Amino acid sequence: MKLSNIKYFDLFFRYQRKNLEKIVFVKDKFNVKDTYDVVVVFGGVSMIPYRLDAAIDLYFNHKVEKILVSGGIGYLSFDRKNKEAFKMQEYLLSKGVNEQDIIIEDRSRNTYENVINSASIITKYYSLEECKCLLITSDFHLRRCMALMNKNTSLIHLSGMGVKDRKNDLENWKYSFKGRKNILIEAFLLCYYAKKGKIDDLDIYLGD
């Protein structure tokens, strides 16, 4: 079924957990043998430590050259004073990442802006058509990030890594109220973005 054809009522009141999982989660595995010019780490849920630790591991294993941290003060952020990008930068520096290898994107308030603003900054360092780019975010957030990058930028060599945080990932989301809430919201946003044309209208198999 196309994302745009999924009814919001069904999402909230009819779909079972397995349906939500099929809408939200990406099953493709990240190829750790690849190397990348830049990794984009999205701010938000579990950016510290889970998303950043994944980037740090790649950095010190010489799998990535630059780490771009993306996030301002999000619409849903509880911290209204400190931008996510600077908090991520501080964490990276505390772990020994070279300051020259950290790129800051601190204007974004949501995932769509993360994508647009990050791609714009990447052009200052690389050609989008040639740049090998990896997106790092939480397990449940990866499909939307990848879909937005594919639809709204000219990045060709694009990969994604969904990081598990023990709360919102495929294995654990159903065991907490917050996890169930986040996955339901993510399913809604994927459908909403598809209906609005912000991402390609992905075909999701909802059968057994």
**Residues 6+ positions from 12 with CB-CB distance below 8 Å:** 184, 188
What pLDDT is stored for residue 45 in this prediction?
79
- pLDDT, tens digit, for every residue of 171-206? 999 999 999 999 999 999 999 999 999 999 999 988
Q: State the number of CA atoms in the 13 A half-sphere of 169 facing the CB.
A: 14
The two structure tokens encoding residue 183: 């996955």
Q: Over the chain, what HEC string results? A: CEHHHCCHHHHHHCCCHHHHHHHHCCCCCCCCCCCEEEEEEECCCCHHHHHHHHHHHHHHCCCEEEEEEECCCCCCCCCCCCCHHHHHHHHHHHCCCCHHHEEEECCCCCHHHHHHHHHHHHCCCCCCCCCEEEEEEEHHHHHHHHHHHHHHCCCCEEEEEEECCCCCCCCCHHHCHHHHHHHHHHHHHHHHHHHHCCCCCCECCCCC
Q: Cα–Cα distance between 185 and 46 in angstroms, integer?
A: 16
Q: Cα–Cα distance between 107 and 103 in angstroms, integer?
A: 13
Residue 197: other Cβ atoms inside 10 A: 10
What pLDDT is stored for residue 122 in this prediction?
96
Please, which pLDDT band fits residue 82 given cuts at 50, 70 and 90? confident
Query: 206, exposed or middle or buried, with CB in 10 Å at 0-12, 13-18, 19+?
Result: middle
- How much is the mean pLDDT over the chain? 92
Q: What is the pTM of this model?
A: 0.93
Residues 1/14, Cβ–Cβ less than 8 Å: no
Q: Cα–Cα distance between 103 and 122 in angstroms, integer?
A: 9
For residues 112-128, average pLDDT: 95
- pLDDT, tens digit, for every residue of 22-72? 999 987 666 667 899 999 999 987 899 999 999 999 999 999 999 999 999
What pLDDT is stored for residue 150 in this prediction?
95
What pLDDT is stored for residue 120 in this prediction?
96
What pLDDT is stored for residue 74 in this prediction?
67
- pLDDT, tens digit, for every residue of 129-171? 999 999 999 999 999 999 999 999 999 999 999 999 999 999 9
What pLDDT is stored for residue 103 in this prediction?
98
Percent share of the chain, pLDDT over 90: 88
